[in-house]
């Protein structure tokens, strides 16, 4: 159980850029442009804020912070890293990047599974490592987050005020979560994390600073940033089948938003000494009494289990309850499934698991893989409604289908593996291309493969395209930084 008194998000001073991919120039000219931009930035901002491999003590930390690089030393060495302390530093950096047509990337918590989205070769990396504070204004009941803070640190700092941000479920994840919408333990009651924005300070692609709110002239941008991504400013046995059915029924039938703060069900396969260890972990979170917990999760609790750790936790303790090893090469794949009524068979859930299990069995003797996950993140109807009530977002999940699950298939490589292996990659892509999904449901940008067309699954895709055309008319970001496909 979690006890949180009141919580409101959130974010001012979240810098956001309108972004994207870059392949129009050859490598040497791209490198030369980046070097020139770095030189220019070093002269205007100084060598503490702008660091190169040879000049800065924080460079190595910044360059090695991204999860998805596999071999940081070999694959991604940014030409320089800008460590802004103020919004103005961000504006200066973005203006120079834009004017020089340099490639760039932005990094907050570093947890993206998309190679090249949060670091860059032959380009400028903007790292928010040093803009990492949070504050709470009791009068307006709003939390201000600087973009470099991690959810555990923010929650820890705010605990004294009896409030918590609607943020990630793992303490080390960063604010980039908001740009994909963001799923929190509090989401069933409060909507996607991004549905709780109050105002956003946004540095546009050309360096201009704007403040976007739900009802000012940047309302379109405000909405686009609630899931549009960075281009705008877990063996089959009877328990697994019973668990999959409980999931499908839960998301179809649950109507209690407090109860709803349930979450992440994980089929986790770990490899040690080439031996597979298969776990089915279910985390059930309820913001309320134990009696309500027992009622809401009755079907789950009826399934035989080998161990349980039911306890009342503070919100902060909850964030720290599940830990992941840092710094291992990780890749994601996404799908989405709506629920089915109780007593109905959950065929598509079983198929999703069967495909996952095929993958894990095929690589049973692999020493390349540390673990795989199949994870079901709930988006109950109450969460969708909260988003509509709070001004809507570009994800626009359909209200008619009830709740649904965002499904994550994650492969995390073993320590020392410096690039994805072709056969594992082939198996991963097979899951992505064949996993069933319910037509009309949006996929989750934060937990997808970089080559999946996530934005096109959104109800607000056309809206996002219009906003992108408006704020980046030269399509600079599509050419110069990596991000979601489409637009
Ligand atoms: C262990 C683990 C647990 C996770 N748990 C959750 C969860 O509970 N809920 C959930 O919703 N997701 C979760 N995710 C997915 C996570 O939200 C995404 O990977 C998210 O993109 C990470 O944000 P970040 O700031 O840590 O990472 P980063 O890699 O630094 O940033 C992610 C993306 O956002 C861009 N970006 C970041 N900040 C800015 C900015 N200020 N302006 C412009 N662009 C920016 C980056 O360029 C990058 O493309 C989890 C991932 C992992 C690995």
So what's the pLDDT on residue 152? 94
More confident residue, 244 or 90: 90
Please indicate, yes or no, whether the overall pTM of this predicted structure exceeds 0.75: no
> Is the pLDDT reported for residue 15 higher than 70?
no
Please check whether residue 288 lies inside any domain of the structure.
yes
Instruction: Identify which of 438, 268, 273 has the alpha carbon closest to the alpha carbon of residue 357.
Output: 268
Which helix (H) or strand (E) segment is 135 a member of?
A: strand 134-137
- Identify the residue whose C-alpha is closest to ligand 1 atom 41: 15
d(C-alpha 222, C-alpha 215), whole Å: 9
The closest alpha carbon to 174, from 315, 326, 285, 284, belongs to: 326
Distance of alpha carbon 2 from alpha carbon 381, whole angstroms: 21
Q: Is the pLDDT of residue 272 over 60?
A: no
Residue nearest to atom 17 of ligand 1 (CA): 177
Q: How far is the CA of 229 from the centre of ligand 1 (A)?
A: 10
- Report yes or no on 85 lying in a domain: no
Among 147, 149, 168, name the best residue to mutate to test ligand 1's pocket (greatest count of ligand atoms within 8 A of Cβ): 168
> Is residue 33 predicted with pLDDT exceeding 90?
yes
Q: What is the mean pLDDT of residues 138-165?
A: 88
Taking the centre of ligand 1 as the mean of its atom positions, its distance from the CA of residue 438, in whole angstroms, is: 25
Question: What integer best gives the mean pLDDT of the chain?
Answer: 83
CATH code (residue 292): 3.40.462.20
Residue 296 domain-assigned (yes or no): yes
Q: Locate the ligand 1 atom nearest the alpha carbon of residue 65 and give its number.
A: 30
C-alpha 80/C-alpha 84 separation (Å) is: 13
- What whole-number distance in Å separates Cα of residue 468 and Cα of residue 464? 6
Q: How far is residue 399 from each of residues 189, 257, 341, measured CA to CA in Å?
A: 15, 15, 17
pLDDT surpassing 70 at residue 381: yes
- Of 78, 106, 126, 190, the residue with max ligand 1 atoms within 8 A of its CB, to mutate for a pocket test, comes to 106
CA distance 197 to 9: 6
Q: How far is the CA of 306 from the centre of ligand 1 (A)?
A: 33
C-beta neighbour count of 59 within 10 angstroms: 21
User: Could you tell me the CA-to-CA distances from 231 to 109, 180, 291, 441 in Å, in that order?
Assistant: 17, 11, 45, 21
Ligand 1 geometric centre to CA of 239 (Å)? 32
299-315, pLDDT tens digit by residue?
A: 888 776 667 778 888 88
**Residue 42 included in any domain:** no
Q: How far is Cα 399 from Cα 390, in angstroms, rounded to an integer?
A: 15
Nearest CA to ligand 1 atom 3: 170
- Considering the domain boundaries, does residue 269 fall inside one? yes
Query: Ligand 1 pocket test: which of 81, 179, 370 has the largest number of ligand atoms within 8 Å of its C-beta?
Result: 179
Structural domain contains residue 466: no
Least confident of 165-179, 189-203, 280-294, 397-411: 280-294
Backbone angles phi, psi at 55, to 5 degrees: -105, -20
CA distance 336 to 169: 19
The pLDDT-based confidence of 102 (bands split at 50, 70, 90) is very high
Q: 368 near 359, Cβ under 8 Å?
A: no
For position 8, what pLDDT does the model report?
Answer: 27
Q: Which residues line ligand 1 (CB under 6 A)?
A: 14-17, 67, 105-113, 117-118, 147, 168-170, 173-177, 179-180, 182-183, 230, 324, 330, 446-447
Q: Which of 27-41, 254-268, 338-352, 459-473 has the highest mean pLDDT?
A: 459-473
pLDDT at site 245: 82
Residue 164 in any domain: the answer is no
Residue 103 lies in a domain: no
Q: Does the pLDDT value for residue 464 go beyond 90?
A: yes
Look at the chain and report how many structural domains it folds into. 1
Domain that holds residue 306: 238-453
Please give the structure tokens belonging to residue 195.
């549905």
- 13 alpha carbon – ligand 1 mean position (Å): 17
């Amino acid at each position: 159980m979690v006890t949180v008194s009141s919580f409101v998000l959130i974010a001012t001073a979240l810098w956001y850029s309108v972004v994207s991919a870059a392949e129009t120039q050859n490598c040497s000219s791209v490198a030369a442009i980046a070097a020139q931009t770095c030189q220019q930035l070093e002269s205007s901002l100084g060598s503490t804020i702008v660091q190169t491999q040879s000049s800065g003590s924080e460079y190595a930390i910044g360059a090695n912070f991204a999860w998805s690089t596999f071999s940081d030393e070999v694959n991604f060495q940014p030409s320089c890293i800008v460590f802004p302390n103020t919004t103005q530093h961000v504006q200066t950096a973005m203006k120079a990047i834009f004017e020089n047509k340099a490639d760039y990337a932005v990094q907050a918590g570093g947890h993206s599974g998309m190679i090249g989205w949060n670091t860059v070769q032959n380009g400028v990396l903007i790292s928010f490592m040093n803009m990492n504070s949070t504050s709470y204004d009791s009068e307006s009941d709003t939390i201000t987050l600087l973009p470099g803070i991690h959810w555990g640190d923010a929650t820890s700092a705010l605990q004294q005020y009896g409030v918590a941000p609607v943020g990630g479920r793992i303490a080390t994840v960063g604010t980039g979560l908001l740009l994909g919408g963001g799923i929190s333990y509090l989401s069933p009651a409060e909507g996607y994390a991004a549905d709780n924005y109050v105002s956003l300070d946004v540095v546009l692609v050309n360096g201009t600073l704007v403040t976007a709110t739900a009802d000012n002239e940047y309302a379109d941008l405000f909405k686009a940033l609630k899931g549009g991504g960075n281009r705008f400013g877990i063996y089959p046995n009877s328990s697994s089948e019973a668990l999959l059915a409980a999931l499908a029924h839960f998301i179809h039938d649950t109507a209690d938003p407090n109860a709803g703060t349930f979450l992440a069900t994980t089929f986790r396969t770990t490899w040690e000494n080439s031996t597979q260890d298969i776990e089915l972990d279910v985390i059930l979170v309820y913001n309320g009494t134990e009696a309500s917990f027992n009622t809401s999760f009755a079907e789950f609790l009826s399934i035989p289990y080998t161990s349980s750790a039911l306890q009342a936790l503070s919100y902060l303790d909850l964030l720290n309850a599940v830990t992941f090893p840092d710094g291992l090469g990780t890749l994601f794949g996404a799908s989405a499934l709506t629920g089915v009524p109780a007593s109905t068979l959950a065929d598509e859930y079983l198929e999703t698991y069967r495909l996952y299990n095929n993958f894990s069995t095929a690589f049973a003797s692999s020493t390349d893989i540390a673990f795989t996950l199949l994870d079901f993140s709930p988006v109950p109807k109450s969460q969708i409604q909260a988003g509509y009530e709070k001004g809507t977002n570009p994800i626009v999940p359909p209200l008619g289908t009830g709740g649904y699950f965002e499904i994550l298939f994650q492969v995390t490589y073993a320590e020392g593996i410096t690039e994805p292996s072709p056969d594992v990659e082939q198996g991963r892509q097979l899951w992505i291309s064949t996993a069933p999904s319910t037509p009309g449901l949006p996929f989750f940008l934060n937990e997808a493969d970089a080559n999946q067309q996530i934005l096109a699954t959104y109800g607000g895709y056309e809206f996002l395209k219009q906003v992108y055309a408006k704020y980046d008319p030269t399509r600079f970001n599509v050419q110069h930084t990596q991000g979601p496909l489409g637009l």
